[in-house]
Amino acid sequence: MEMWLKEEQIESAAMTYKVKETLVRRKTDFQDLAILDTEAFGRMLVLDGIVQTTINDEYVYHEMISHIPLFTHPNPKKVLVVGGGDGGAIREVLKHPSVEKAVLCEIDGVVVEECKKHLPEISCALEDPRCEVFIGDGIKYVHEHKNEFDVIIVDSTDPFGAAEGLFGGSFYKEIYECLTEEGIFIAQTETPFYLPEVVKSVFSDAKAVFPVTKLFMAAIPTYPSGYWSFTVGSKKHDPENADLSKTIDISTKYYTKKLHKACFSLPKYVEDLIK
């Protein structure tokens, strides 16, 4: 008998994946968690029926959400990742030798626990001595740490349920205060094809708080439409004009210095959306 995962995040469309084996299925205090082994994408983390990351395409998301802000900041030493319990963003952050401390603030400890067991390729840096894992509410954590982080990465699930409060102007104001003088924040901000109003609203909220606000795109096969947006908010530094001439070379599969600049060239429909 064949087994298939059908993801119905978008009401008018669905994505399906052939499943070889269910490795974990748990109901946590916050969500329904599954780790599946699939034919096309290898092992994948699924929360409330929605694919979060997979072994075969995770590098796109984690590299772009991490290296764009870290190569834009002139000297990032302290980084906060809100969400991201799989550890992929932390892995990429710690490729930067300037980083002295990276804090992972994840509300659901079960995500961290199961990803360490079943997705070690992604979670491998969570044991790095520079990494601190804090299990708790990211909104509360940001509120309690003023002027502390050089870069904040909001690696959240979609804007409903446990992650709903991680989208919107009030949280972005808290992030602004949590950042240092040259601080930069980045968030995944959904698909402009299926959820244009979410992209428009989040970009507008960030722009109302940060002097420099930019949106860029990346191609992620397992996310609805395969074309995903990220929003950067910065106090001083424009990621599109970052001086990359003296940055170190790091091991990547998707991010390049040329792509760092090119990803901010948007299709017209996306440009029109955020005007």
Annotated binding site: 31, 62, 86, 106, 137-138, 155-158
Q: Which residues are annotated as a binding site for spermidine?
A: 62, 86, 155-158
How far is residue 141 from each of residues 130, 149, 163, measured CA to CA in Å?
A: 19, 12, 14
- Euclidean distance between CA atoms 265 and 271, whole angstroms: 9
Contact 86, 53 (CB under 8 A): yes
Q: Which residues are annotated as a binding site for S-methyl-5'-thioadenosine?
A: 31, 106, 137-138
- Euclidean distance between CA atoms 88 and 93, whole angstroms: 9
Active site residue 29: no
Q: 155, 205, 243, 249: which one is catalytic?
A: 155
**Phi/psi at 214 (5° precision):** -135, 150
Beta-bridge partners for 135: 106
Query: What are 149's two structure tokens?
Result: 């982080």
- Euclidean distance between CA atoms 215 and 233, whole angstroms: 9
In this structure, the strands spanning 32-38 and 15-27 are: antiparallel
Catalytic residues: 155
